[in-house]
Structure 1
């Protein structure tokens, strides 16, 4: 089965991450690989994600992180009221949805509950985000245990960038 990305790579300033290593990159790549695997049914997408996590974290830590990653992506897909976009597996940049996913995990690791709500709402387009947040917390904890902690500054930067691009605010709904 041929992989077709749900997002055409763009070169604008909107919430892009260009790093090729580190915690943000690992979350973005994992999110992309798991979405692609679920969308296409092509096990190669998941193998690419597993191989990346195994290489970076080692087999024992990768096992828990990838298990929680898969549960989180499944929760995002189940809650989504819109199509979640992602770039091709070999893309050098992350799109807005991938960046929002990174921001959600960073917010979880840094216990920023309003930001977690805002990220989950923006990512899924749905108000049913409790399962997404619960799964994000489990994934964030697995990354913490593997000594992989996302930068808390990514939360504000990406949430603000996405809200500005959409012409809205970063506050959670009441």
Structure 2
């Protein structure tokens, strides 16, 4: 099954209002979204939404480490970014291009694809200062791996190619 079909399956059919809430790619995307929103708005409910999903899927002890590393990664990413990082609201069933690139970055880390990690980090930050982002991404990817959350090899930097060619948002809200 291709990664695109896997994501389509995870986010549901076009008629579905809420995605199936499982899978490592989905967990990375929704965590990224919640932590960015929390930092941007200062609303603790954003972080609570993310914590609740991680806790539900991983259990409290594994979720604690994963969420700690997620928060460090997103904070590092925001502090090095030279542009605004985009994300969809919590309830959206698809992922925007920046969320897809974040998923690709973590997948590249888990699969030890260094050039892809650098390319994803550069695309996300718009800055050449990517080493801190890569270090934090590696720690987050390791925490997910230890929690038995392995992203697909197909997610490594492949998410954006069809989307950019088509000029559309392949993973947009599919309601």
- Structure 1-normalised TM-score? 0.82
Match of 1:54 in 2: 55
Match of 2:110 in 1: 109
- Distance in 1 of aligned mates of 2:160 and 2:116: 8
Partner secondary structure for residue 94 of structure 1: coil
Q: Is the 8 A contact 2:105 2:157 kept in 1?
A: no
Residue aligned with 2:151, SS: coil
Unaligned runs of 5+ in 2: 11-19, 168-175
User: Which runs of structure 2 are paired with 1:81-160 in the superposition (5 Å)?
Assistant: 81-160=82-161
Aligned Cα RMSD in Å? 1.7
User: How many residue pairs were aligned?
Assistant: 151
Distance of aligned partners of 1:161 and 1:118 in 2 relative to their CA distance in 1, 3 Å threshold: farther
In 1, the alpha carbon distance for the partners of 2:139 and 2:30 equals: 18
Cα deviation for residue 157 of structure 1 reads 1.6
- State the Cα distance separating 1:163 from its structure 2 match: 6.0
Instruction: Check conservation: 1:69, 1:139, Cα contact below 8 A.
Output: yes
Q: CA separation of 1:164/1:116 partners in 2, compared to 1, >3 Å: closer, same or farther?
A: farther
Deviations 1:35-91 (A, max 9, x none): 000000000000000000000000000000000000000011011100000001100
Write the distance in 2 (CA, Å) between the matches of 1:63 and 1:140: 14
Where does the alignment leave 5 or more consecutive residues of structure 1 unmatched?
A: 1-13, 167-174
Looking at structure 1, the residues matched to 80 and 103 of structure 2 have their Cα atoms a distance apart, in angstroms, of: 17
Q: Name the CA distance, whole Å, in 1 between partners of 2:73 and 2:116.
A: 17
User: Structure 2: how far apart are the matches of 1:38 and 1:125?
Assistant: 19
1:35 matched to 2:33? The reply is no
